[in-house]
Amino acid sequence: MKRTALGLLLLVLLAAAGLAWYFHARQPQRSGTLELAGLQAPVSVRYDERGVPHIRAGNEADLYRALGYVHAQDRLFQMEVARRLARGELAEILGPKLVDTDRLFRTLGIRA
């Protein structure tokens, strides 16, 4: 009985450690250096104490590229849901209850 309980406890601890590692690895990068393709000059992104990004860039194109990266880093799932909503493809990932919504948006002909 003790051996089974100990084995079960070890299994639960390993699963918890694995989940903690998985979710920690998926957190947005808030410090350090990152190479972003397509930039013409260095860009700096600083996050304040509330997590709001402040971007400094030498030109507008680099600024918008960094802004897009920051948005995707923080809101990729939200952006994907909005894209699928506009294309009428939500039921593919969120279930058949959204087929009527998909029909409506496909009728509108929005292509995102």
What is the structure's pLDDT at 34? 76
The amino acid that residue 97 corresponds to is: K
Cα(17)–Cα(79) distance, integer angstroms? 30
Query: 54 near 47, Cβ under 8 Å?
Result: yes
What is the structure's pLDDT at 24? 64
CATH of the domain spanning 46-108? 1.10.439.10
Tens digits of residue pLDDT in 35-85: 888 899 999 999 999 989 999 999 999 999 999 999 998 889 999 999 999
Q: Judge whether residue 94 has pLDDT over 90.
A: yes
What is the structure's pLDDT at 109? 87
